Amino acid sequence: MPSDARSLRPRAEHFVAPLEETPLQAVDAVDTTSAPRSMWGEAFRVLVRNPVFIVSALLILLVLFVSAFPGLLTSQDPTYGVLGRANQGPSAEHPFGTTTQGYDVLARTLYGTRTSVTVGFFTMILSTLIGGTLGALAGYLGGFFDAVLSRITDIFFAVPLILGAIVIGNRVDHVTVWIVVVVLGVFGWTNIARIMRGAVISVKNQDFVTASTALGASRPVILLKHVIPNAIAPVIVTATVNLGVFIVAEATLTFLGVGLPPTSVSWGGDISAAQNALRTQPMMLFYPSMALAITVLSFIMLGDAVRDALDPKARKR
């Protein structure tokens, strides 16, 4: 019971705010004016206001356009090499000059985009499918499955992506783009699996999953309709960054001579060839390297922007 004995308040005033200044509102009234906002809609609104996203998206569009229609930007054939025009500087006909083999540097850089984007894109799809499936199953089923699948993931994680690919690449006689995709995909899914597993575990313990169980949804239905849609966002972020990593990996393998054969057009192969003429023809190294750097950077920037949009908590302020 309150006692007024120890109060030093001079007198007990009782203040009441005039009602016109503090009008009462209905309890928990519904705001029917604003437009509906889904999580993806919200994320998109954040994205389009992010300059990092705008810049990276424009660069990626450019890269995609070049890889789709490299012939629109140059009339030269990237595989036509004439020793008679070797080691030329920039000219109207060859704006980036020519290589020691007499190839047109601009044409090779443009056509090389297609190889890199193909490898990066399909490897990303393959590794996300493998890693996403295994990670989701491990996280959702838990127990014994989780233990086994997680150890398998650890084993693959212990093999460096490049090392694994070098070993396989050395055993295969004629390496094509698709072999590179499979090899990189098989060794590059582990981080996706780990992220998917963690996200699935955190989602599957939420009340709405329990509510669906109690509504009568079966376990596969819950996994596909509730758990994966809610766990996919961090996987998308990682997959976008991975795309850049796989492009670098392909270039590295080709540079080392265990990737695509010298007959194919690839930035990695061009960089490898250019290092012999580094002192005399530095621009030969510069163009494919720049193309590689810009492409990879734009995918990594896109990943960052998507992360910011999907997970505001990870945003650094």
Partner 1 sequence: MTSTTPLLEISDLEITFSTSSGPVQAVRGASLAVYPGETVAIVGESGSGKSTTAMSIARLLPKNGAVTGGSIRFGGKDITSVPTREILALRGSEIGLVPQDPMSNLNPMWKVGSQITEALAANNVARGSAARKRTVELLEEAGLPDAARRAGQYPHEFSGGMKQRALIAMGLAARPKLLIADEPTSALDVTVQQQILDHLDSLTTELGVAVLLITHDLGLAAERAQHLVVMYKGQIVESGPALEILQSPQHPYTKRLIAAAPSLASRRLVSVKERERVVEQAQAHAAAAHAATDAQAPETGPAAADAQSPASDVVIRVENLTKDFPIRGSVPWRSTPFRAVDDVSFDLERGTTTAIVGESGSGKSTVAQMVLKLLEPTSGRVLYEGKDVTTYRGAELKSLRRRVQPIFQNPYGTLDPMYSIYRTIEEPLRLHGIGDAKSREAKVRDLLDKVALPAEMMRRYPNELSGGQRQRIAIARALALDPEVVVCDEAVSALDVLVQAQVLELLNDLQAELGLSYIFITHDLAVVRQIADRTLVMEKGRVVEQGATEDVFHSPREEYTRRLLGAIPGGSIPLAGAETIDVDVAELDSSADDEPEHAAPAPDEMPYGAFVNPADRPDRRDHGHSGGPIGGAGGEHV
* Site residues (vs partner 1, CB under 8 A): 1-4, 6-10, 12-17, 19, 21-22, 24-25, 27-28, 30-32, 34, 36-39, 42, 199, 202-203, 205-208, 210-217, 221, 226, 229-231, 233-234, 310-313
What is the rounded distance in angstroms from the CA atom of residue 247 to the CA atom of residue 300?
A: 11
CB-nearer residue toward partner 1: 174 or 313: 313
DSSP one-letter code for 94:
S
Smallest distance from the beta carbon of 8 to partner 1, in angstroms? 4
Smallest distance from the beta carbon of 300 to partner 1, in angstroms? 21
CB-nearer residue toward partner 1: 44 or 80: 44
Nearest Cα to Cα of residue 259 among 148, 128, 119, 96: 119
DSSP for 295-315, written as a single string: HHHHHHHHHHHHHHHH-GGG-
Smallest distance from the beta carbon of 113 to partner 1, in angstroms? 34
CB-nearer residue toward partner 1: 42 or 154: 42
What is the rounded distance in angstroms from the CA atom of residue 160 to the CA atom of residue 145?
A: 24
Smallest distance from the beta carbon of 227 to partner 1, in angstroms? 10
Residue 38: what residue type?
S
Q: How many CA atoms lie within 13 A of 25 on its CB side?
A: 5
Contacts of 206-215 with CB under 8 Å at 24 or more apart are 206/230
What is the rounded distance in angstroms from the CA atom of residue 205 to the CA atom of residue 187?
A: 30
Smallest distance from the beta carbon of 145 to partner 1, in angstroms? 20
CB-nearer residue toward partner 1: 195 or 260: 195
Q: Are 60 and 66 in contact (CB under 8 A)?
A: no
Smallest distance from the beta carbon of 251 to partner 1, in angstroms? 33
CB-nearer residue toward partner 1: 41 or 71: 41
DSSP one-letter code for 1:
-
Contacts of 37-43 with CB under 8 Å at 24 or more apart are 43/306, 43/309, 43/310
CB-nearer residue toward partner 1: 132 or 169: 132
Tokens of 111: 């056509």
Smallest distance from the beta carbon of 55 to partner 1, in angstroms? 22
Phi and psi based region of residue 143 (left: phi greater than 0; alpha: psi -120 to 50; beta: remaining): left
CB-nearer residue toward partner 1: 16 or 92: 16
Length of the chain: 317
